[in-house]
Structures are given as structure tokens and as C-alpha cells.
């Protein structure tokens, strides 16, 4: 399927039973131990109902999204981790997972979704920008790797960009109506 079309997939919420297979995929897909640890069992046990899997007709997980509504900021949803099989990337699976997450949380009253990412990964940045996320450029940010980001956000040397997507419809000025 090299034409970039979305393969035949079924989308469903994650369950705790998905922990082992997705943790194995994380080991296979990413060398970064921090990313692999981001798939701990608690994510599946406590956030499965807001997280998603894209599954092929034969039951293979083609991609997943772990996300949740913020407990402290109920109007905000958080994309914790998105991953797709390397052999099916660039076919719209990640986009479809994010859209299901966004639609699901918007129906629950969430008006903004954010994702905290390393600003030096061009693929991650391009993916989020293509989906309408913009980098927070507010207080405490500085340009890192060409993007407004928070230096040492997650500790020494752990710079992060806070990418935000507003789910509210744009306000049309009265004169434009």
C-alpha cells in the first residue's frame, strides 16, 4: 500500500490486555528506553477508554494512541504517545488515531488537546503541525531546534515543546458575517 491510502482497519479503545503486545511493539519500533517505558501497564489499565488501537482484519495492531483528559484541567486532553508500524507509516493511521481521540474528547467537553514532545525530532514536529497543533510560544519558551520550546522541561537536558490544538470553532468577527 505505497499509495498513502488508509489500509482496511478497525479502531477500538485499548484494554489492559493490549499492554504486552504494545509494549513489545514499542521495543521493536523505538530504541529510546524512555519511549518504551511510556507504555507501562498503568496507561492501559487507567486510560484505555480514552486511548485507541488501529487493528488490521487479521488482528495485527497497526498503530496506537495513548491519551487522556487532564484531571487538573478538565477542558484539556493530552496525547501521551502515538505509534504506528514502520511499514505502514505515512498512510494516515496516526492521523486517524489522533482524530478519533480528538472527536471522543470533544464530545466530553474537552476544548484543547496538547502533546509534549522533544522539539528536535522533525518527523514528530511535522506530524503534529500537519494535524493543526501549534507550539506554545508563551512565557518560559525559547527557540530550540527551530521551535518554541521549554528548556529542561522534563529535567536536565530534557527540552520539550508543548504542542496545542484548539478544538473550538474559530470566532468569526461580527463585520465578517
Protein fold of 111-168: Aminopeptidase (3.40.630)
Which grid coordinates belong to 51?
Answer: 486511548
Q: What pLDDT, on a 0 to 100 scale, did the predictor assign at position 177?
A: 60
Measure CA 158 to chain center.
19
Q: What pLDDT, on a 0 to 100 scale, did the predictor assign at position 4?
A: 55
Q: Say whether 111-168 and 1-65+83-109 share the same fold.
A: yes
Residue 152 has pLDDT above 50, yes or no: yes
Contact indicator for 113, 78 with CB cutoff of 8 Å: yes
Give 164's contacts (C-beta < 8 A, 6+ positions apart).
Answer: 112, 113, 114, 133, 134, 135, 136
Residue spans per domain, the chain: 1-65+83-109, 111-168
Name the pTM for this structure. Answer: 0.87
Protein fold of 1-65+83-109: Aminopeptidase (3.40.630)
pLDDT, tens digit (0-9, with 9 covering 90-100), for 100-134: 999 999 999 999 999 999 999 998 999 999 999 99
Mean pLDDT of the region 85-108? 88
What are φ and ψ of residue 43, in 5° steps?
A: -60, -40
Give 122's contacts (C-beta < 8 A, 6+ positions apart).
Answer: none
Reported as type and span, the H/E element at residue 142 is: strand 142-144
Amino acid at each position: 500500500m505505497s499509495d498513502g491510502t488508509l489500509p482496511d482497519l478497525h479502531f477500538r479503545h485499548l484494554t489492559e490486555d493490549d499492554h504486552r503486545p504494545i509494549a513489545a511493539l514499542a521495543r521493536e519500533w523505538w530504541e529510546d528506553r524512555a519511549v518504551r517505558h511510556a507504555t507501562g501497564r498503568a496507561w492501559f489499565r487507567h486510560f484505555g477508554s480514552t486511548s485507541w488501537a488501529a487493528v488490521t482484519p487479521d488482528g495485527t495492531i497497526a498503530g496506537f494512541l495513548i491519551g487522556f483528559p487532564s484531571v487538573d484541567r478538565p477542558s484539556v486532553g493530552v496525547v501521551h504517545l502515538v505509534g504506528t508500524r514502520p511499514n505502514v507509516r505515512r498512510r494516515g493511521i496516526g492521523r486517524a488515531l489522533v482524530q478519533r481521540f480528538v472527536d471522543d474528547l470533544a464530545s466530553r467537553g474537552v476544548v484543547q488537546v496538547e502533546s509534549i514532545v522533544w522539539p528536535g525530532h522533525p518527523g514528530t514536529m511535522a506530524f503534529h503541525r500537519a494535524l493543526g497543533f501549534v507550539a506554545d510560544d508563551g512565557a518560559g519558551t525559547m527557540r530550540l531546534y527551530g521551535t518554541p520550546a521549554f528548556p529542561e522541561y522534563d529535567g536536565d537536558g530534557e527540552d520539550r515543546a508543548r504542542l496545542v490544538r484548539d478544538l473550538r470553532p474559530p470566532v468569526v468577527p461580527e463585520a465578517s458575517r
